[in-house]
């Protein structure tokens, strides 16, 4: 579906281990994310998240305590989630000192698989700002081109 759709981060006044527990423990997840969470935090584990009257399966991808956690969601019923049919949510925790952690979340879909390697790199370099930067640029160009 997408490469870099969303890329956000926040600085938290707590050690990475504490942040890790907040983003991976089901009783914590239900406080900031879904209303109901059934999830075992192990690579490949299938789980379920419910949002109000909607819900869907999730599959855990990477579990690297306490720095990386990712899962795939929003994939079609009956299909195995993979690049191209689902969204990948990746959390990265970077300690900034003993009691402070930068938490970054990237929500994305499929990779630049049909491009030559060098072009992928060039694109990644030019678009390191990702989606937000793209939108800003479009908006600016848009404003310029509007008559008056």
Partner 1 sequence: MTAQADDELWSAIGDPSRRLVLDLLVSNGEVSASWLSGRVPFTRQAVAKHLVVLERAGLVSHRKQGREVLYQVQAGRLDQATRAMAELAAQWDRRLDAIRRLAEAAHAESKHAESKHAERKQGGQS
Which residues here bind partner 1, judged by CB under 8 A?
A: 1-6, 8-15, 18-19, 21-23, 28, 31-33, 99, 101, 103, 105, 107, 109-110, 112, 114-116, 119, 122-123, 127, 131-132, 134-135, 137-139, 141-142, 145
Long-range contact pairs involving 125-128 (C-beta distance under 8 Å, separation at least 24): 127/4
In the complex with partner 1, the residue whose CB is nearer, 5 or 45, is 5
**Measured from the CB atom, is 68 or 110 closer to partner 1?**
110
Closest to partner 1 by CB, 36 vs 122, is 122
Question: Is residue 8 within 8 Å of 105, Cβ to Cβ?
Answer: yes
The H-assigned helical ranges of the chain are 16-24, 26-32, 117-126, 130-145
Nearest partner of 63 among 36, 48, 44, 82, judged by Cα: 44
């Amino acid at each position: 579906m997408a490469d870099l759709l969303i890329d956000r981060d926040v600085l938290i006044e707590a050690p990475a281990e504490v942040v890790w527990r907040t983003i991976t423990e089901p009783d914590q997840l239900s406080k900031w994310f879904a209303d109901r969470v059934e999830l075992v935090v192990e690579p490949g584990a299938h789980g379920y998240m419910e949002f109000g009257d909607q819900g869907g399966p999730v599959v855990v991808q990477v579990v690297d305590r306490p720095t990386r956690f990712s899962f795939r969601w929003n994939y079609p019923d009956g299909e195995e989630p993979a690049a191209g049919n689902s969204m990948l949510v990746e959390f990265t925790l970077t300690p900034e000192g003993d009691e402070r952690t930068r938490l970054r979340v990237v929500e994305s879909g499929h990779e630049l698989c049909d491009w030559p390697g060098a072009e992928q790199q060039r694109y990644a370099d030019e678009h390191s700002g990702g989606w937000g930067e793209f939108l800003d640029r479009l908006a600016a160009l848009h404003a310029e081109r509007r008559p008056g």
